[in-house]
Amino acid sequence: MKNESVTGIDTAVHILLDISGSMTSRIELACAACCSVALALAAIPGISVGVSAFPADHKEDVAATVYPLLQHGKRITNSFAAEAHGSTPMTEALWWVLGMLSTRPEHRKIILVVTGGYPDDPETAKETIAAAQQMGMEVLGIGIDAPVISSMIPISENITDIREPAPAMFRLLQQPLLEKGR
């Protein structure tokens, strides 16, 4: 019986954290919230969790859009620390996550986007979200004082209190993770 529930979860969750300039005043708490949620999810048998930030630090790699903070299958060894900077290349970051998740063995794949503003190109971001859904991936969103999130990602929540990212992430993830064998 216990093995059935573990097999039934069989889910990869990837948190995609916006660390653009719009996140400057919220970055520390957003990173801490992502770390807390990742720790909690990693403790659940049958869930693989990963966390990435975008945009990547251009000093390290000029071509990089996404910086993995936690790779799937790895242990969280320290808190996530990131410096807010740059624009919001959400489309490119989503395509990176789609490519990475498409190689994962888990049956279900959930992407949780945490953002503080408009993507550089809202139309292509919407198209990429639609492509993810066509691929069978679930896309959820948390807007931190960014009501545009609801026009981008249908299953989303906008928060205005900076203490709310972790509780909002748990609220959004609760229903998909409790659903049995989609």
Same-domain status, 27 and 72: yes
Q: How many beta carbons lie within 10 A of that of residue 61, not counting itself?
A: 10
50 lies in the same domain as 75: yes
> What domain range is 62 assigned to?
22-86
Instruction: Provide the pLDDT for residue 126.
Output: 95
Q: For residue 68, tell me if it sits in a domain.
A: yes
In whole angstroms, give the CA distance from residue 13 to residue 175.
13
CA gap 53, 20 in Å, rounded:
9
Residues of the chain predicted below pLDDT 50? 1-6, 62, 181-182
pLDDT reported for residue 65: 83
pLDDT single digits (tens) 140-149 = 999 998 898 9
Kindly give the interhelix angle for 90-102 and 122-134, rounded to the nearest 10 degrees. 20
Q: Give the pLDDT confidence score for residue 2 in this predicted structure.
A: 42
0.85 surpassed by pTM: yes
Within-domain flag for 34: yes
Give me the number of domains the chain comprises: 2
